Amino acid sequence: MEARSSAALVAVAVVALLVVLVPETSRAERFIVGDAARWTWGYNYTDWVIRKGPFFQNDTLVFMYDPPNATVHAHSVYLMRNAADYQSCNLKAAKLVANVMQGAGTGFEFVLKKRKQHYFVCGERGGIHCTMGNMKFVVKPKSSACRDD
């Protein structure tokens, strides 16, 4: 009985140590952008970011959208170069990160490797999905050392 309870204590201590020692990289989280709504016209992604954040370095954003056909509209993922282009949905200097096909299946994964502002937008219809469709959001991942959960 005595031996058994000390063995149990050791087990508890080992588990506690593991929880403390788990490396930061393995704590990175994976987020489906928009959750059940996925990456689509008219959803408020700014609100989604507020509800889901903060985001940390090495977290993964997953953009899910079906390839276009006669009934499904095309979507894509671009990164804007700066806040001004993001505000105005000006795609001239934007960088394509996922084309209209890449959101299919398990989706397109973007790892937030850099601790900088990421200005994500949908680039379809010359920016109309960004302006009218509200398909845009900004994320600035924090240092993973700050994760407090």
Ligand X SMILES: *[C@@H]1O[C@H](CO)[C@@H](O)[C@H](O)[C@H]1NC(C)=O
Interface residues with Cu ion (CB under 5 A)? 75, 122, 124, 129, 135
Residue of 31, 33, 34, 57 interacting with ligand X (CB under 6 A): 57
106 makes contact with ligand X (CB under 6 A) = no
The DSSP call for residue 90 is -
Work out whether 144 is an interface residue with ligand X (CB under 6 A).
Answer: yes
User: How many helices, marked H, and strands, marked E, lie in the chain?
Assistant: 4, 7
Least Å from the CB of residue 13 to ligand X: 26
26 lies in the site for ligand X, by CB under 6 A: no
Q: Is residue 72 within the footprint of ligand X (CB under 6 A)?
A: yes
Q: 140: helix, coil or strand?
A: coil
When CB distances are held under 5 to 8 angstroms depending on the partner's kind, the choice from Cu ion, ligand X, none that residue 46 binds is ligand X
Cis peptide before 54 (omega within 30 of 0): yes
Q: Determine phi and psi for 63, rounding to 5 degrees.
A: -95, 120
- Smallest gap from Cβ 88 to Cu ion, in A, equals 17
A 10 A CB-CB count for 73 gives 16
